[in-house]
Structure 1
Amino acid sequence: MGADLSVASPLLSILETVLYARDLVATEEFYRRVLGLQPIAVVPGRHVFFRCGEQMLLIFNPEATRHPPRPGALPVPPHGMEGEGHVCFRVTADDLDVWRSKLPELGVEIEADFEWPKGGHSIYFRDPAGNCLELAEARIWGIS
């Protein structure tokens, strides 16, 4: 029998989101230059971590994270994926208007820009690794 989850505390939020990129130098530069995120931890060839509000955006090189940890290292199990991922950053409607202008000025193509049927707007673009990035109002999910 499994554990009785009815006594577990509710999940509070998502703490980490992970994307993968082989060229971490280009990826770090993109997130700094385009999104204004500052790395808080960098291990060349392995990962670059950014704080985004109260959450963390972790970008790993999939080749480096598919191996088990070395003896004495933190016991984080292997993980990684192939192909592009997706992350959506929460912004206000007013800030979304600013991003619509800023991204093309920075040479970033907006792939999609639309209003959701139940309200709220999203814009989509890509990072150097091909990950699909979205900027959206929280109301697309009924969150105020």
Structure 2
Amino acid sequence: MQQKISPFLWFNGCAEDAVNFYASVFAEAKIGKTMRASKAGPGPEGSVLTIGFELFGRKFTAFNFPTDFKFTEAVSFVVECKDQAEVDYYWDCLSEGGEPRDCGWIRDRFGVFWQITPTRLIDLMTDADPNVAARAATAMMTMQKIDIAALERAVAAP
């Protein structure tokens, strides 16, 4: 089935660098078609306008044009991680040159926001026992990078 809706990310002149970075971080990423400016513009002839790319089979478009627009936390991408090794990997890669935030959030070096989220956190925070969910939420609120073992200790505490 064709993906009818996809993110279109406006980078301030660094789209090509961003796409190459994401392709190096995410396994099986694909870089697609690149659209370049013509003599008519916009921008210098031959400069990158858009680059298509895929992360885990999801299509994105990176737009490359200088602007004052900035990414905000209002839109972020959740990376679901099966274990602590995956959390550590994505956290380390995406936070390099970026800004780690609380509760598993990162602003990467290009300004894009990511949530590095272990599936175990979601399981605990949606537990049928409201005490388990509350202890997991309380523990998460003290973390930047999510620590699954610390979450498990927190929910096991009486």
Secondary structure at 1:25 match in 2: helix
Q: CA deviation at 1:49?
A: 1.6
Query: Relative to structure 1, is the Cα distance of residues 110 and 51 closer, same or farther in structure 2, using a 3 angstrom cutoff?
Result: same
Q: CA deviation at 1:83?
A: 1.0
Please give the TM-score of this superposition, normalised by the length of structure 2. 0.49
Aligned counterparts of 1:14 and 1:126: Cα–Cα separation in 2: 27
Aligned counterparts of 1:99 and 1:112: Cα–Cα separation in 2: 14
Query: Relative to structure 1, is the Cα distance of residues 55 and 30 closer, same or farther in structure 2, using a 3 angstrom cutoff?
Result: same
Aligned counterparts of 1:89 and 1:50: Cα–Cα separation in 2: 17
Unaligned residue ranges in structure 2 (runs of 5+): 37-47, 127-158
Indicate whether 1:89 and 2:70 are aligned. no
Question: 2:18 — aligned with what?
Answer: 27
Secondary structure at 1:46 match in 2: strand
Query: Relative to structure 1, is the Cα distance of residues 130 and 50 closer, same or farther in structure 2, using a 3 angstrom cutoff?
Result: same
Aligned counterparts of 2:68 and 2:62: Cα–Cα separation in 1: 11
Question: 2:87 — aligned with what?
Answer: 99
Indicate whether 1:57 and 2:60 are aligned. yes
Please give the TM-score of this superposition, normalised by the length of structure 1. 0.53
Query: Relative to structure 1, is the Cα distance of residues 25 and 33 closer, same or farther in structure 2, using a 3 angstrom cutoff?
Result: same
Structure showing greater radius of gyration is 2
Cα deviation code 1:61-86 (max 9, x no counterpart): 245xxxxxxxxxxxxxxxx9811143
Equivalent residue pairs, number: 105
CA-based RMSD: 3.6
Aligned counterparts of 1:134 and 1:29: Cα–Cα separation in 2: 20
Identity level (%) = 12
Aligned counterparts of 1:105 and 1:16: Cα–Cα separation in 2: 23
Query: Relative to structure 1, is the Cα distance of residues 89 and 102 closer, same or farther in structure 2, using a 3 angstrom cutoff?
Result: closer
Residue identity opposite 1:59 in structure 2? A
Query: Relative to structure 1, is the Cα distance of residues 133 and 82 closer, same or farther in structure 2, using a 3 angstrom cutoff?
Result: same
Query: Relative to structure 1, is the Cα distance of residues 97 and 133 closer, same or farther in structure 2, using a 3 angstrom cutoff?
Result: same
Q: CA deviation at 1:16?
A: 0.4
Q: CA deviation at 1:57?
A: 1.7
Contact 1:30 1:127 in 2 (8 A): no
